[in-house]
Structure 1
Amino acid sequence: MTAASSQGGVSAVEVTAGGRGVVRVFLGVGVLNLAACLGVCLALGLPTPALITCAGAFVVALSAAAVFLRRSHPHARLGLANVITLARLSMVTVLLGILIAGGAEPWFVIALGVVALSLDGVDGYAARKQGLASRFGASFDMEVDSAFALVLSLLAATGPAGPIAILLGLPRYLYGLAAVALPWLNGELAPRFSRKVVCVVQLVALIALQLPFLGMPVALAIVIVTAGALAWSFGIDTVALHRGRRQSAS
C-alpha cells in the first residue's frame, strides 16, 4: 500500500522543481496512497461510512501537511522519507476505517501495525542519508505517530484492557492542549534518545494490546507500565522547557 514503488523509486520523487513543485509531488504521492488505502478498505469489506471517514480524514491530513510543507521544507526535492511517512499515514487511515467499522481480524491489525512501526525507523534514516531532513519532516512524522497511537489505543479499548487503554493514545494531544494555556511548552526541545525509546515502547505496547489471547491482568499491566513511561518522558520535557524559560527570563 505504499506509493514509493509506483513512483519508480527514489529518483522519481526527488524532483528539482522546488516550492510549488515539491507540493505538487507531495499531493500526487498522497493521492496514490489514498487510492491504495481505499482499495485495502474495500478489500476488507468495510462499510460506506468507514470509507467516507477514511477518505475525509486522509484528505484533511494531506491538505494540512501540504500547507506546512510549503513553509517548512527548504529543499528542492521531496525525498523518500516523506513518501514513507505518507505511506504510514495511509496505513493509519486503514486502521481508522477498521475502528469505524467496529473492528476486524486482530491479526491483520497487528500485521499492519508492525509494518507501520517498522517504517517509522526508516523515514528518519532516509532523510538523514539524503540530506533532506527538515522541520516539516520531523513534525509530519510526529503527527503520524500520534495519530497511529490514538487509533491503536481506541482499537485496544475494545479488548481486554478496556477503555483505560485510551490513556496511551492521549498524551501528545493533552500536551498540545496544555500548550494553548502555557505557550512555553511549544519551546524547542533538544534531541533525546530516551524520548524515541519511549515512543517505540508506546507503539509496541499498543500493538501488543491487539493480541486476541491477551488476558485482562497482562493487558492492564502493559497499560500501567507504558503510561508510567509516557508520564516520565513528558515530565522530563516539561521540566526542561520550564528551566529554559526561567533561564531566558533571567
Structure 2
Amino acid sequence: MALNNTYDARPAQQETAVGAGVQILLLALLGTAIGMGPAGWVTGLVFAIATWAVLSRALHRSRLSTFGAANRVTLGRATLVGGVTALVADSFESAPPVSVLVGLTAVALVLDGVDGKVARRTGTSTALGARFDMEVDAFLILVLSVYVSMSLGPWVLLIGGMRYAFVAAARLAPWLNAPLPPSTARKTVAALQGILLLLAGADLLPYAGDLGVVLLALGLLVWSFGRDVLWLWRRSRMRAMVAAEVDEVLEASVGDVLVEATRAA
C-alpha cells in the first residue's frame, strides 16, 4: 500500500491571505476614521503584501499543514503593527490622532504575551512561530523608534536598528549565530522596549521625561546585546581553544603511530 506523502500548504496559506485581507480592512477603517493620506495607504499595503508573501514562503519551506492558534494570534498582532506602521508613515505628512496610534500599539503589546502562552498550552510551539513572533516584535520596535525619533532626534533609531545590525554583523562574524541560553533578563528588556517607546510617543510626559524614558530603553538594550555578544564571543573562543587542543592531541597521536611504525619497520 503506497503512502501519501503529498504536502498540501493551501490550508495554512489561506489563513495568511485572510490576514492580508484583514490588514486592508483595518487600513480602510483607519482611512475613513482619520483621513489617512497616500503615504499611510501605500506603506500599509506594502506591509500587508510583504507579510503575506514572506509568511507564505516560510510556511511552504516549513511544510506546516495547519497555521495554529498561536500563529493566528501573532498574525493578528502583525495586522495591528501594520496599522501602526501606516499611521507612522502618515505622520510625516499630517499628525495622526495619538490616541489611535497608542491604542493599536497597546493592544499589539498585550497580545505579545498571549501567543507564547497559547503555543505552550496547545502544544503547537514551532520554530516558525517563534521566528514570526520575534520578527513582529522587532519591526514594531523599529516603527516606534521612527515615530519617537521625529521628536527626540535620529539617535532613537539605534533602538529599532540594533537587532537588525546584530543580524547583519552575524553574516560577517558567524560565531554570532550560535544559540543563546534562555534568559529572563533578555525577554524583559525586549518587552520593555515597546512599552517605553510607547510611553515616550504618547505625549504624556514633558520633553525631559520622554528623553529619560528613551535613554533608559537604549541603555537597557545596549546592556542586553552587549552581554549576549560577550557570551557568544567567549563561547567561540572556548570552542576554538578546545578544537586546537584536539588537533594537537590528534597530531601527537599520529606522530606516535608513525614513529612506532618506523621502528617496527
The interval holding the TM-score normalised by the smaller chain is: 0.7 to 0.9
Task: Name the SS of the counterpart of 1:158 in structure 2.
Answer: helix
Residue 87 of structure 2 is matched in structure 1 by 98
Distance 2:24 2:234 in 1: 47
Residue 12 of structure 1 is matched in structure 2 by none
- The structure whose Rg is larger is 2
Residue 210 of structure 1 is matched in structure 2 by 201
Residue ranges of structure 1 left out of the alignment (5+ in a row): 1-16
Residue 52 of structure 1 is matched in structure 2 by 42
1:62-90 per-residue CA deviation (whole Å, 9 max, x = no partner) reads 21122122333x65431111111111111
Matched, 1:27 2:19: no
CA RMSD after TM alignment: 1.9
Residue 132 of structure 1 is matched in structure 2 by 124
Matches within 5 A, 1:1-250: 19-43=8-32, 44-72=34-62, 75-102=64-91, 103-159=95-151, 161-249=152-240, 250=242
The two structures have a TM-score, normalised by structure 2, of 0.81
Structure 1 residue 22, shift from structure 2 partner: 4.3
Instruction: Give, as a single letter, the amino acid of the residue that structure 1 aligns with 2:143.
Output: V
Q: How many residues align?
A: 232
Contact 1:29 1:83 in 2 (8 A): no
Distance 1:247 1:29 in 2: 48
Distance 1:185 1:127 in 2: 27
Task: Name the SS of the counterpart of 1:212 in structure 2.
Answer: coil
Identity of aligned residues (%): 31
Structure 1 residue ranges, 4+ long, deviating more than 6 angstroms after superposition: none
Structure 1 residue 28, shift from structure 2 partner: 2.9
Contact 2:9 2:59 in 1 (8 A): no
